[in-house]
Structure 1
């Protein structure tokens, strides 16, 4: 029983501040240690739920290695359950007992998540009568990789437990060939190259990511396929698979994906091309089949909105 005036303990964690976080802001240290967003970590600190050597501190205070950190974590947010719901435009490219490869339309999430009420790939597959692997969290069973809601193209979902295990490892070990096509603003210099820059959550905007020292290693290879007056069509190969990686890397070069207003794209150009999302498409996907270990390769055509934007760029050039 909790004494009057005292809060329940909740999920309380206690540990010394690691050497690698010495001199870091308290809210940033809490974010790094417990996988919280910077906003969530700052809210927690401001509520007095993060003590340094037994004393509440302001979120901007710097922590010292070895100081004792006590944090009461918020209750986890439960993801919504999968709802079998037909998804307009979701197309099955390949299907067997182990995998199903889909061409994902714009406006569709890979799986349910807190705050998302729109259609999902797993919900669309359930509506088609597809049974997927039971491995993984309940709301994303069978999902071995994801695409942004605003990104179209190819996704593979595991149907058997063996496929889930093999494909998860293949993505982790960077053995899957993921090719994207993107239209970025301006002309890249050099025309072909590699972007090797760590990515982490944006320091002031939870919904965005950014190139940040101390972020997760992130590597993007690109090759210019076609140059227009105001933009370039590039082939992109991902070596790593961070959230928003392509969008963040090209924005960091000051060549954001055309139409990607979240990452600084020109709204005038987007309006002229009638684009309501980033010009980014998961064009090609190749991997070893999880049962036969033969290579399988799939290619997706551009959807109508990206095709018409590309035609407009060509006409203007």
Structure 2
């Protein structure tokens, strides 16, 4: 099986592997700073364009009718492909990396959760960066948010030069991600935005409670930006799942890696080493 999603792979085939799943309107290359960060530390990094994003296929009508499940199917196709590759290396007497850790932001985080529930043997662990929270908004609210994203995208498409200048001027945007981020937003399939779907249809508390793999759950406390926040992290802790490690990054917004870069890596790096072991020197 080979995933239909476009992917960007950096690093050796036998190195500990990190799979990056982005949020809505993003892409693989708009995580360039993260890819470089992990590759320099010796990890194999596989950054994926979600369906309808970047260079991946656009959405077909039948897929949109089950968009949340399609996101999970796509992630599982990718992870199954990586597992098949690893088994092939072992069969040839070569060293194979353990199952990857999946780092998912927002939509990517919600997708990673459900994929790991369905096929836990395909991952070594999850890092959920302020995941989308299915069940917190009504269908009409989701549609309204999707329409708002579409309007914002239309405004950006009308003035791409202005969008690039704003990205370059942002205090939190890594320079290497400014142009790719504008490009990514221009590549989004508007059909997905109009559905309002940003997560599989599994209530987030139910998903967290069902996880059977080590999970680092991150959120910030920036009002109006962070989805979980301190309250959501406390709810996650109250579920009693010992495999979940909730961490609050103070001052962080929804995209923690950009808004509090040093604090993000300070929380994530030692956790990855505990789960996968240290990566070899790059």
Interval containing the TM-score (normalised by the shorter chain): under 0.3
What is the TM-score with the length of structure 2 in the denominator?
A: 0.26
More helix by share: 2
* Higher radius of gyration, 1 or 2: 1
More strand by share: 1
